[in-house]
A and B are shown apart, each in its own frame.
Chain A
């Protein structure tokens, strides 16, 4: 998937306004909010970048159930930003306990073992809101840039691009600095 032509961007993007959203949380409500702002601001004409660190990257991962054997026993794989020589067996545990995929994220409050997430998804459908998976794809289509933190990719054994549902870059804190330095809007969820 390629980014849209700069020439086709709304006027705001041509004026060079930029925004950065850092998603740390792996919770459904915060992820929805982050992507709604990213997609909305991008549509308004601001060039948005989203950074995913720690559990924030969970929403970009391909969905896997807690009961899936591949979640617990599959070999830790390499990928962009991974240093497999220093992998630890404990990373299997981290990967297993983590929620993989936008459809498996819990709510930050009133989760009740996943029932809260199901209720929120139902309400969103009734209200004509986009589900998180659609928001992620729509944001990318609009030209929002996705970057996953390299340390998180390595520590949490995320194989990029194989484990992700969308195209994302893997970068470090210096690249985050450059994004933030030129940003007119900068928030963390």
Chain B
């Protein structure tokens, strides 16, 4: 998926809580203001990412639905 995000993470094929764990780890490696694109197909994937961002002060930049229940979400790491 070609975007200008600083980091990409694919968690398709795994289910809760693994996408959350991988997301937290990926965000820890980034600095404030950097962007991450994460793609997953877990049924609660989008809600998981939204909850994580809300609790930890990150912003959701874009959400798009792909084929095979894939959801692509871009987030900006909060400061």
Partner of B21, one of A11, A43, A129: A43
Q: Is the interface of B mostly helix, strand, loop or mixed?
A: helix
Number of interface residues of A (CB under 8 A): 19
Q: With the chains together, A42 CA to B25 CA distance in Å?
A: 11
Q: Is the CB of A127 within 8 A of B15?
A: yes
A189 CB to nearest chain B CB (Å): 16
Which residues on A sit within 8 Å (CB–CB) of B17? 36, 39-40, 43
Q: Is the CB of B15 within 8 A of A129?
A: yes
Partner of B56, one of A45, A128, A138: A45
Check A93 for interface membership: any CB of B closer than 8 A: no
Q: Is the CB of A10 within 8 A of B20?
A: no
Number of interface residues of B (CB under 8 A): 20
Query: With contacts A39-B21, A40-B20, A142-B21 known, is A128 near B15, CB below 8 A?
Result: yes
Look across to chain B and name the residue whose beta carbon is closest to the beta carbon of A14: B56
Q: Is the interface of A mostly helix, strand, loop or mixed?
A: helix
From residue 121 to 180 of chain A, which have CB atoms closer than 8 A to chain B?
127-130, 138, 142
Chain A residues proximal to chain B, CB less than 8 Å? 4, 8-12, 36, 39-40, 42-45, 127-130, 138, 142
Beyond A12-B55, A142-B24, 17 additional pairs, beta carbon < 8 A: A10-B24, A11-B57, A12-B56, A36-B16, A39-B21, A40-B17, A40-B20, A43-B17, A43-B21, A43-B24, A43-B25, A44-B20, A44-B52, A44-B56, A45-B24, A128-B42, A142-B21
Chain B residues proximal to chain A, CB less than 8 Å? 13-18, 20-21, 23-25, 27-28, 42, 51-52, 55-57, 78
